[in-house]
Structure 1
Amino acid sequence: MPKRSKKNGPRSGTRSETHDALKLRKLESGAGYVLVHPRCVRDRAEDIEEVRLMIDAGELEVATDEIRWLLSGCSAFVEAHLLAGVIAVELSNDVKLARGHFGYAYGLGLKALHAAKFAGPLLAAQPANGPWHEAGRGLAWCLQRLDKAAMADEVVATLLAADASDPMGVAELIRSMRAPSDPLFQIDLPPSPGTGPK
């Protein structure tokens, strides 16, 4: 694994940063809310971009190590948990591990929504909200894969309450996962006697 460059500095993160929670802030326009991420997340914005580049390049194991480092200093890092979930599926098809990461990220945002007595909307188009919506989509997908349909439906309902336009297509994703697979063959039955033309 390549060594961390000096520009990134020491692996920082105070105890208070590690336990900072997400918060919700009303947009000045009044058109909804935005998640406010803790300082430890904002301080690691450059690092998470590097992780995304590693994933795009297929360097999943290196990206996993980097995510572990990010989370060790900032457990409330929604996007890091999101990417850890993506890697769990891509690298080893580990749906249970992915569920844990997606679920943790989703739970962080849900806590902020409940604490603020959220009335919506929390639009996915806002950059600070996007990773939470993506994590929710990943969680719903995992829950459906694990035959936990009722739990998947709860997540979908929450995401739609936050952004009714469903920009992540989570409702359609779950519907398509539940659709019966195409039969190997189809039998066309003749019309019942007396129902045809006379």
Structure 2
Amino acid sequence: MLKQLRPALVMIVIFTAITGLAYPLAMTGISGMLFPKQAEGSLIVENGTVIGSELIGQNFASEKYFHGRPSVTLGPDPADPSKSVVVPYNAANSMGSNLGPANPALIERVKTDLEKLKAENPGQPVPIDLVTTTGSGLDPDISPEGALFQLPRVAKARGVPEDKLRDLVSDLTQAPILGILGEPRVNVLALNRALDAMAK
């Protein structure tokens, strides 16, 4: 019996070393050399401090900033750690809400967000990405329409002409990859950083 088990155990050890250690370490090293910024998480550093990532959205609540898509990622409830509460853009718990389209809680959340946005910019159609979440809950981008919808609020809060902000959104709009993959998009953190830089 040992004669049959020995080759199997040797193969397990060899393939574990190759596929579990050598290959991941080699790929990590190669990606670090070829794409150092991406391999480290596409971090954005300002004055020596990491302020975010190009790949993970942040929760901007102030009227002076453009807001991203809704995020329903969860985190521990500060009042009761055995329970979970919504913690927007919690990168440690990337997930969608898992609520089906007929779920009353989802319908109520979308309705509430929709009414709030309609009050913010009356008479304008609300872009779908401002009331729907993504599968990860961490999407850092919004559509150009989503950014333009928020122009009046941001312009009023900052005392900046809407045309100036419209140009900023246009400058920061990224085209689909290779012209065909995906949709035009605007990175919310990059847009808000440009806003702050404009105010200096």
Query: Normalization by structure 2: what TM-score?
Result: 0.24
Structure that is richer in helix per residue: 1
Structure label with greater radius of gyration: 2
Structure that is richer in strand per residue: 2
